[in-house]
A = this chain, B = another copy of it.
């Protein structure tokens, strides 16, 4: 009788690697912001970033644009609103919609946070070649495609 059990080498498993990486990068970004006096999480950063690109989206669209769900967007916006960075305005034509806008404070944040984020990215990916980064992104696109099949 042969043993057919297979091993699953955790440390070599893409899912495990990616999860560790995501966690550590989030924590690192958070600490980088914090050191400069900003209490902003990676997810809040992602939403702010999208808003700097395009304001006035309603919550569901904004969620789509940041690969989150509606519930999550509600929560993140609650944080950003409490901090005075964004405000919601009900759409006059479709009362179901909340359109999201940056406050003056939220807009000003852009100039302060982006240099920190750029520096953080440079620190984390120091020594990684452009070619490797391209592969990295290509694998990402492939996996996303496979997820949708």
- Within A104-149, the residues touching B (CB, 8 Å) are 110-111, 114-115, 117-118, 121, 123-128, 132-133, 135-140, 142-147
Q: How many copies does the complex hold?
A: 2
Q: Are the C-beta atoms of B28 and A147 separated by less than 8 Å?
A: yes
A143 touches B125 (CB 8 A): yes
Interface set, chain A 24-38, CB cutoff 8 A to B? 24-26, 28-29
Say whether A143 contacts B118, CB under 8 Å: no
Contact B8 A49 (CB under 8 A): yes
Q: Does more than half of chain A's interface fall in helix, strand or loop, or is it mixed?
A: helix
The yes or no answer to A46 lying at the interface (CB within 8 A) is: yes
Stretch from A10-18, A73-81, A82-90, A95-103 forming part of the interface with B: A10-18
C-alpha spacing A25/B34, complex, angstroms: 29
User: B142 and A20: CB pair below 8 A?
Assistant: no
Q: Does A6 contact B (CB under 8 A)?
A: yes
* Nearest CB in chain B: distance from A126 CB, A: 5
Contact status B19-A42, CB under 8 Å: yes
Q: Assuming A123-B146, A127-B146, is B14 touching A136 (CB within 8 A)?
A: yes
